[in-house]
Amino acid sequence: MVGMMPFVAPAYAVGIAVAIYFGIKVFVGRKRRMIQKAIEGGICAVCGEKIVKDKCPNCDKTSQT
């Protein structure tokens, strides 16, 4: 906001700064929700694979054979 003061009126600078702040908040919130929906069960701490039905398909497959 302070960097825009020499170029635009202070009221416009505040408005632009507030719009950018809330725009980023909305973007991050939607991105976080999308990632949580994609990774419902979580991620395996050993291999990083997505958990399906409370089991890691990669680690459980190798431990059974």
Q: What is the pLDDT of residues 21-54, one digit of tens each?
A: 999 999 999 999 998 888 787 888 888 888 888 8
Cβ proximity of 62 and 50 under 8 Å = no
Cβ proximity of 4 and 13 under 8 Å = yes
Other beta carbons less than 10 A from residue 25's beta carbon: 10
65 pLDDT higher than 70: no
Cβ proximity of 44 and 57 under 8 Å = no
Structure tokens at 11: 């009221």
Q: What is the model's pTM?
A: 0.60
In the chain, what are the domain boundaries? Answer: 2-64
Cβ proximity of 8 and 19 under 8 Å = no
Q: What values do phi and psi take at 43, rounded to 5?
A: -125, 140
Higher-pLDDT residue of 65, 29: 29
